[in-house]
């Protein structure tokens, strides 16, 4: 599995080049809004900054600025205020305005590399270079899963086979526009190489990562909330959308709370209305806390205070597993479905249920709830793995090496 770029074997070349590299990132999303893809963009850009690369991110009008990321935004679209993931008709106008912004920034910055994030970012980056008459500027792209796979989880095609084929064709074309593609998981790499027949030399896997030191500091200084000593806190952090496994999550929680009095549930994410509609009256259970949106910088303190973490996503869409990595860094044992991504990331550390089996998912939660030593042992193993192998610096070096291959500096 290609996780670096073996043709570039010179650290000296990377270091000398990175000091003068200028990169324009195109992020067709309301960056920063505490979502998984935003955390990835932030982590990689900050890692590239530390390598001496100059980075500018072009993004939508909403979202918030974050330290360490120089950001340019499109003009406001009054009716487009949602930061939720998923299709939105206002995105078409936002992407058009993002194209014009990218053209302006390409002419101003004269970047050595244009880096598109997500499929739309790759397409906008390609068009912006043409319009700006800088088509020789190398384009690379970070593809976080499959476009048609993600849209299908939101029922975008509504069983329309012809619409699916149209978007599959669009994705096929987009993936051939950049000189190089980055992906975030083994599944996404398999999709690129298998389904879309991309040349393996044009694909590099850059795993999602985490700043494990932050979680370690919080773990060493944090304290658990005042609860009965026999109460177990189960936590989920992520988008509360059907495509993220929330249907399965709610079903499992209903069953779990129906026969366990020692379980407390903490749900971090949005939109919370999804949970209310799926769980009905059960969502009013005093043992369930719906926190809604939590700033990313505040997430570690909530995670380290929990006992068991949940990853209910039941499909291998090709996306990375950002939430799982954060669970690991927080020292939490993780219950999940037996998907390829989860196995590749956690190995024997995770607690797996057969895909689609709510009964097994609940059984794994109860197994951990009844065994404090099992929770401690697997949680510590995950924390060690996160610290030793899952840093943003590693991903930054991989990307920087690809930049140096293509940049004319």
Mean pLDDT of the residues in the chain: 88
- What is the structure's pLDDT at 15? 47
Domains and CATH numbers, the chain: 11-207+392-406 (3.40.50.2000), 212-389 (3.40.50.2000)
- What is the structure's pLDDT at 408? 66
- What is the structure's pLDDT at 228? 58
Whether pLDDT at 351 is above 90: yes
Residues 6 or more apart whose CB falls under 8 angstroms from that of 2 comprise: 200, 201, 203, 204, 205
Confidence category of residue 401, pLDDT binned at 50, 70, 90: very high
- What is the structure's pLDDT at 88? 81
Mean pLDDT of 166-192: 92
Confidence category of residue 315, pLDDT binned at 50, 70, 90: confident
Q: Give the separation between CA 147 and CA 121, rounded to whole angstroms.
A: 12
pTM of full prediction above 0.85:
no
Q: Are 347 and 328 in contact (CB under 8 A)?
A: no
By mean pLDDT, which of 2-11, 112-121, 253-262 is the weakest?
2-11
**What six digits make up the tokens of 209?**
């990562």
Q: Give the separation between CA 33 and CA 39, rounded to whole angstroms.
A: 9
In angstroms, the Cα distances linking 11 to 8, 51, 400 are 8, 12, 10
**What six digits make up the tokens of 95?**
């992407």
Whether pLDDT at 118 is above 80: yes
Higher pLDDT, 219 or 194: 194
Whether pLDDT at 271 is above 80: yes
- What is the structure's pLDDT at 225? 60
pLDDT > 90: what percent of the chain? 66
Whether pLDDT at 153 is above 70: no
Q: Which of 242, 233, 68, 212 is nearest to 150 (CA)?
A: 242
- What is the structure's pLDDT at 224? 61
Cα atoms in the Cβ-side hemisphere of radius 13 Å centred on 234: 29
Mean pLDDT of 265-289: 90
């Amino acid at each position: 599995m290609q996780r670096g770029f073996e043709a570039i074997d010179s650290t000296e070349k990377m270091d000398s080049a990175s000091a003068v590299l200028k990169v324009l990132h195109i992020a067709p999303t309301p960056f920063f809004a505490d979502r998984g893809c935003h955390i990835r963009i932030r982590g990689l850009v900050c890692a590239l900054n530390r390598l001496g690369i100059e980075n500018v991110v072009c993004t939508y009008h909403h979202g918030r600025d974050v330290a360490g990321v120089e950001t340019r935004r499109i003009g406001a679209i009054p009716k487009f205020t949602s930061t939720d993931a998923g299709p939105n008709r206002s995105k078409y106008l936002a992407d058009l305005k993002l194209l014009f912004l990218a053209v302006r920034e390409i002419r101003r910055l004269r970047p050595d590399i244009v880096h598109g994030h997500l499929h739309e970012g790759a397409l906008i980056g390609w068009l912006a270079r043409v319009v700006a008459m800088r088509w020789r500027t190398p384009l690379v792209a970070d593809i976080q899963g499959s476009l048609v796979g993600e849209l299908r989880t939101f029922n975008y095609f509504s069983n329309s086979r012809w619409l699916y084929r149209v978007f599959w064709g669009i994705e096929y074309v987009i993936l051939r526009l950049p000189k190089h593609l980055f992906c975030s998981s083994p599944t996404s790499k398999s999709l690129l190489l298998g389904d879309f027949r991309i040349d393996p030399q044009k694909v590099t896997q850059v795993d999602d990562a985490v700043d494990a030191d932050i979680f370690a500091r919080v773990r060493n200084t944090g304290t658990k909330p005042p609860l009965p000593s026999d109460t177990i806190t189960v936590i989920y952090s992520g988008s509360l959308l059907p495509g993220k496994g929330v249907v399965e999550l709610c079903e499992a929680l209903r069953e779990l709370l129906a026969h366990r009095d020692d379980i407390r549930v903490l749900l971090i994410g949005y939109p919370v209305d999804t949970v209310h509609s799926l769980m009905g009256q059960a969502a009013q259970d005093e043992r369930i806390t719906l926190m809604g949106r939590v700033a990313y910088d505040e997430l570690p303190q909530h995670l380290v205070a929990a006992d068991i973490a949940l990853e209910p996503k039941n499909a291998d869409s090709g996306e990375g597993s950002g939430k799982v990595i954060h669970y690991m860094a927080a020292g939490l044992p993780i219950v999940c479905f037996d998907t390829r991504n989860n196995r590749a990331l956690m190995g024997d550390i995770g607690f797996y249920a057969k895909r689609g089996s709510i009964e097994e998912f609940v059984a794994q939660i109860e197994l951990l709830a009844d065994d404090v030593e099992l929770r401690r042992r697997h949680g510590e193993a995950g924390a060690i793995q996160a610290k030793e192998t899952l840093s943003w610096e590693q991903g930054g070096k991989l990307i920087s090496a690809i930049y140096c291959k293509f940049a004319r500096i």
